[in-house]
Amino acid sequence: MNLIHLSLITLLLGKNVRDLSTNGNSTNILWHECPIQKHDRQKILQQKGCVIWITGLSGSGKSTIACALSRSLHSRGKLTYILDGDNIRHGLNRDLSFRAEDRSENIRRIGEVAKLLADAGVICITSLISPYQKDRDACRALLPKEDFIEVFLDVPLAVCEARDPKGLYKLARAGMIKGFTGIDDPYEPPCSCEIVLQQIKGSECMSPNNAAEKVISYLEKNGYLRA
Protein backbone atom coordinates (compact mmCIF):
# COMPACT_ATOMS: atom_id res chain seq x y z
CA MET A 1 0.00 0.00 0.00
CA ASN A 2 1.52 3.39 -1.03
CA LEU A 3 1.24 6.78 0.69
CA ILE A 4 -1.59 7.90 -1.58
CA HIS A 5 -3.70 4.90 -0.54
CA LEU A 6 -2.89 5.50 3.12
CA SER A 7 -3.89 9.14 2.85
CA LEU A 8 -7.16 8.20 1.16
CA ILE A 9 -8.06 5.72 3.89
CA THR A 10 -7.24 8.28 6.56
CA LEU A 11 -9.41 10.89 4.81
CA LEU A 12 -12.36 8.52 4.45
CA LEU A 13 -12.27 7.33 8.05
CA GLY A 14 -11.51 10.70 9.57
CA LYS A 15 -9.10 8.90 11.88
CA ASN A 16 -5.47 7.94 11.96
CA VAL A 17 -4.94 4.77 9.93
CA ARG A 18 -3.13 3.30 12.94
CA ASP A 19 -6.57 2.86 14.58
CA LEU A 20 -7.33 0.05 12.10
CA SER A 21 -7.11 -3.38 13.71
CA THR A 22 -7.16 -7.10 13.05
CA ASN A 23 -9.38 -9.54 14.93
CA GLY A 24 -9.42 -13.22 13.99
CA ASN A 25 -9.76 -13.44 10.21
CA SER A 26 -11.10 -9.89 9.93
CA THR A 27 -8.60 -7.21 8.98
CA ASN A 28 -8.70 -3.44 8.60
CA ILE A 29 -11.67 -3.09 10.95
CA LEU A 30 -12.50 -0.23 13.25
CA TRP A 31 -14.74 -0.26 16.34
CA HIS A 32 -17.52 2.30 15.94
CA GLU A 33 -18.76 3.85 19.19
CA CYS A 34 -22.43 4.78 19.63
CA PRO A 35 -23.52 7.67 21.87
CA ILE A 36 -26.29 5.52 23.39
CA GLN A 37 -24.66 3.17 25.88
CA LYS A 38 -25.78 0.16 27.92
CA HIS A 39 -26.69 2.24 30.97
CA ASP A 40 -29.02 4.36 28.79
CA ARG A 41 -30.87 1.26 27.60
CA GLN A 42 -31.02 -0.15 31.12
CA LYS A 43 -32.61 3.08 32.36
CA ILE A 44 -35.46 2.67 29.87
CA LEU A 45 -35.97 -1.00 30.76
CA GLN A 46 -35.48 -0.52 34.52
CA GLN A 47 -33.27 -3.58 34.76
CA LYS A 48 -29.65 -4.56 34.29
CA GLY A 49 -28.66 -6.54 31.23
CA CYS A 50 -26.98 -9.81 32.11
CA VAL A 51 -26.54 -13.43 31.03
CA ILE A 52 -28.03 -16.23 33.13
CA TRP A 53 -26.14 -19.28 31.91
CA ILE A 54 -28.00 -22.49 32.83
CA THR A 55 -25.84 -25.59 32.43
CA GLY A 56 -26.46 -29.25 33.23
CA LEU A 57 -26.89 -32.68 31.71
CA SER A 58 -29.44 -33.50 29.04
CA GLY A 59 -32.75 -34.13 30.79
CA SER A 60 -31.85 -32.12 33.88
CA GLY A 61 -34.64 -29.61 33.18
CA LYS A 62 -32.69 -26.64 31.80
CA SER A 63 -35.22 -25.58 29.17
CA THR A 64 -38.16 -26.03 31.54
CA ILE A 65 -36.52 -23.89 34.22
CA ALA A 66 -35.44 -21.28 31.65
CA CYS A 67 -39.07 -20.92 30.54
CA ALA A 68 -40.33 -20.75 34.13
CA LEU A 69 -37.74 -18.08 34.90
CA SER A 70 -38.60 -16.07 31.78
CA ARG A 71 -42.32 -16.30 32.53
CA SER A 72 -41.85 -15.17 36.14
CA LEU A 73 -39.63 -12.24 35.16
CA HIS A 74 -42.07 -11.26 32.41
CA SER A 75 -44.87 -11.11 34.98
CA ARG A 76 -42.70 -8.63 36.90
CA GLY A 77 -42.40 -6.45 33.80
CA LYS A 78 -38.83 -7.49 32.96
CA LEU A 79 -37.56 -8.11 29.44
CA THR A 80 -35.90 -11.49 28.88
CA TYR A 81 -34.82 -13.63 25.95
CA ILE A 82 -34.01 -17.35 25.99
CA LEU A 83 -31.21 -18.83 23.89
CA ASP A 84 -32.03 -22.54 23.91
CA GLY A 85 -29.38 -24.96 22.68
CA ASP A 86 -31.70 -26.99 20.43
CA ASN A 87 -33.43 -23.89 19.05
CA ILE A 88 -30.13 -22.21 18.11
CA ARG A 89 -29.09 -25.34 16.19
CA HIS A 90 -32.16 -24.90 13.99
CA GLY A 91 -30.73 -21.66 12.62
CA LEU A 92 -27.53 -19.87 13.57
CA ASN A 93 -25.62 -23.05 14.44
CA ARG A 94 -27.22 -25.58 12.10
CA ASP A 95 -23.87 -26.00 10.33
CA LEU A 96 -22.26 -27.44 13.48
CA SER A 97 -22.01 -31.08 14.56
CA PHE A 98 -21.59 -32.48 18.06
CA ARG A 99 -17.85 -33.05 17.72
CA ALA A 100 -15.83 -31.45 20.51
CA GLU A 101 -14.53 -28.62 18.30
CA ASP A 102 -18.01 -27.87 16.94
CA ARG A 103 -19.46 -27.92 20.44
CA SER A 104 -16.91 -25.30 21.44
CA GLU A 105 -17.82 -23.17 18.42
CA ASN A 106 -21.52 -23.62 19.23
CA ILE A 107 -20.94 -22.22 22.73
CA ARG A 108 -18.68 -19.43 21.46
CA ARG A 109 -21.33 -18.18 19.03
CA ILE A 110 -24.08 -18.33 21.64
CA GLY A 111 -21.82 -16.52 24.10
CA GLU A 112 -21.32 -13.70 21.59
CA VAL A 113 -25.08 -13.40 20.95
CA ALA A 114 -25.76 -13.45 24.70
CA LYS A 115 -23.22 -10.67 25.16
CA LEU A 116 -25.06 -8.50 22.61
CA LEU A 117 -28.41 -9.10 24.30
CA ALA A 118 -26.97 -8.22 27.71
CA ASP A 119 -25.47 -5.05 26.22
CA ALA A 120 -28.95 -4.21 24.92
CA GLY A 121 -30.16 -4.32 28.53
CA VAL A 122 -31.97 -7.64 28.16
CA ILE A 123 -31.84 -10.41 30.77
CA CYS A 124 -30.57 -13.19 28.52
CA ILE A 125 -31.21 -16.77 29.69
CA THR A 126 -29.22 -19.53 28.02
CA SER A 127 -30.26 -23.16 28.28
CA LEU A 128 -27.33 -25.31 27.19
CA ILE A 129 -25.55 -28.47 28.26
CA SER A 130 -22.27 -26.57 27.63
CA PRO A 131 -20.28 -29.52 29.03
CA TYR A 132 -16.76 -28.08 29.02
CA GLN A 133 -15.49 -25.71 31.69
CA LYS A 134 -13.14 -23.89 29.31
CA ASP A 135 -15.99 -22.97 26.97
CA ARG A 136 -18.15 -21.63 29.78
CA ASP A 137 -15.17 -19.70 31.13
CA ALA A 138 -14.57 -18.21 27.68
CA CYS A 139 -18.17 -16.95 27.58
CA ARG A 140 -17.82 -15.53 31.08
CA ALA A 141 -14.71 -13.65 29.95
CA LEU A 142 -16.72 -11.91 27.21
CA LEU A 143 -18.70 -9.94 29.77
CA PRO A 144 -18.01 -7.76 32.80
CA LYS A 145 -17.67 -10.01 35.86
CA GLU A 146 -21.05 -9.10 37.34
CA ASP A 147 -22.94 -9.66 34.06
CA PHE A 148 -22.43 -13.44 33.86
CA ILE A 149 -24.48 -15.57 36.26
CA GLU A 150 -23.73 -19.28 35.96
CA VAL A 151 -26.51 -21.59 37.17
CA PHE A 152 -25.61 -25.26 37.62
CA LEU A 153 -28.58 -27.60 37.43
CA ASP A 154 -27.12 -30.35 39.61
CA VAL A 155 -29.19 -33.42 38.74
CA PRO A 156 -27.44 -36.82 38.75
CA LEU A 157 -26.98 -38.78 35.54
CA ALA A 158 -29.20 -41.61 36.82
CA VAL A 159 -32.13 -39.23 37.29
CA CYS A 160 -31.61 -37.58 33.89
CA GLU A 161 -31.36 -40.97 32.20
CA ALA A 162 -34.51 -42.21 33.92
CA ARG A 163 -36.39 -39.19 32.59
CA ASP A 164 -34.84 -39.35 29.08
CA PRO A 165 -37.46 -36.96 27.63
CA LYS A 166 -36.03 -37.12 24.11
CA GLY A 167 -35.04 -40.81 24.18
CA LEU A 168 -31.40 -39.82 23.61
CA TYR A 169 -29.89 -41.74 26.52
CA LYS A 170 -31.50 -44.94 25.22
CA LEU A 171 -29.97 -44.33 21.80
CA ALA A 172 -26.58 -43.50 23.33
CA ARG A 173 -26.59 -46.67 25.44
CA ALA A 174 -27.39 -48.65 22.30
CA GLY A 175 -24.40 -47.10 20.56
CA MET A 176 -26.58 -45.26 18.06
CA ILE A 177 -25.38 -41.83 19.24
CA LYS A 178 -21.66 -41.27 19.72
CA GLY A 179 -20.08 -38.62 21.95
CA PHE A 180 -23.19 -38.18 24.10
CA THR A 181 -22.57 -36.13 27.25
CA GLY A 182 -22.60 -38.25 30.39
CA ILE A 183 -22.29 -41.55 28.49
CA ASP A 184 -19.18 -41.51 26.29
CA ASP A 185 -18.35 -37.81 26.52
CA PRO A 186 -17.62 -35.96 29.78
CA TYR A 187 -19.62 -33.30 31.57
CA GLU A 188 -17.46 -30.96 33.63
CA PRO A 189 -19.47 -29.44 36.51
CA PRO A 190 -18.86 -25.74 37.21
CA CYS A 191 -15.99 -24.98 39.56
CA SER A 192 -17.37 -21.76 41.00
CA CYS A 193 -20.85 -20.94 39.74
CA GLU A 194 -23.10 -18.28 41.23
CA ILE A 195 -26.15 -20.52 41.77
CA VAL A 196 -26.61 -24.26 42.25
CA LEU A 197 -30.06 -25.78 41.76
CA GLN A 198 -29.74 -29.19 43.35
CA GLN A 199 -31.81 -32.33 43.39
CA ILE A 200 -33.38 -33.11 46.76
CA LYS A 201 -34.66 -36.29 48.41
CA GLY A 202 -33.71 -39.04 45.99
CA SER A 203 -35.52 -38.69 42.68
CA GLU A 204 -37.52 -35.65 43.83
CA CYS A 205 -36.31 -32.39 42.32
CA MET A 206 -37.02 -28.75 42.97
CA SER A 207 -40.04 -27.63 40.95
CA PRO A 208 -39.34 -25.34 37.96
CA ASN A 209 -41.19 -22.46 39.63
CA ASN A 210 -39.24 -22.85 42.88
CA ALA A 211 -36.00 -23.03 40.92
CA ALA A 212 -36.97 -19.87 39.04
CA GLU A 213 -37.74 -18.09 42.30
CA LYS A 214 -34.32 -18.99 43.66
CA VAL A 215 -32.69 -17.35 40.64
CA ILE A 216 -34.97 -14.32 40.91
CA SER A 217 -34.07 -13.97 44.58
CA TYR A 218 -30.42 -13.75 43.53
CA LEU A 219 -31.26 -11.15 40.88
CA GLU A 220 -33.23 -9.04 43.36
CA LYS A 221 -30.55 -9.25 46.03
CA ASN A 222 -27.85 -8.16 43.60
CA GLY A 223 -29.78 -5.31 41.99
CA TYR A 224 -30.42 -6.72 38.52
CA LEU A 225 -34.14 -5.94 38.57
CA ARG A 226 -33.67 -2.20 38.84
CA ALA A 227 -31.64 0.31 36.86
Q: Which amino acid is at 22?
A: T
Domain ranges for the chain: 1-32, 38-221
Secondary structure (3-state) at 224: coil
Question: What stretches in the chain show pLDDT beneath 50?
Answer: 3, 6-13, 15, 17
> What's the pTM?
0.87
Question: What is the predicted pLDDT for the residue at 204?
Answer: 64
Residue 158 vs residues 57, 138, 155, 202: alpha-carbon distances, Å: 11, 29, 8, 11
In angstroms, the CA 33 to CA 30 distance is 10
In angstroms, the CA 134 to CA 149 distance is 16
Question: What is the predicted pLDDT for the residue at 14?
Answer: 53
CATH assignment, 38-221: 3.40.50.300
Question: What is the predicted pLDDT for the residue at 6?
Answer: 47
- Cα 214 from chain centre: 19
Residue 167 vs residues 27, 44, 108: alpha-carbon distances, Å: 45, 44, 27
227 neighbors 42 (Cβ within 8 angstroms): yes
Per residue in 145-172, pLDDT (tens digit) is 999 999 999 999 999 999 999 999 999 9
Give me the catalytic one of 58, 130, 207, 217: 130
- Tell me, yes or no, if 130 is annotated catalytic: yes
Residue 45 vs residues 113, 168, 216: alpha-carbon distances, Å: 19, 40, 17
Question: What is the predicted pLDDT for the residue at 28?
Answer: 87
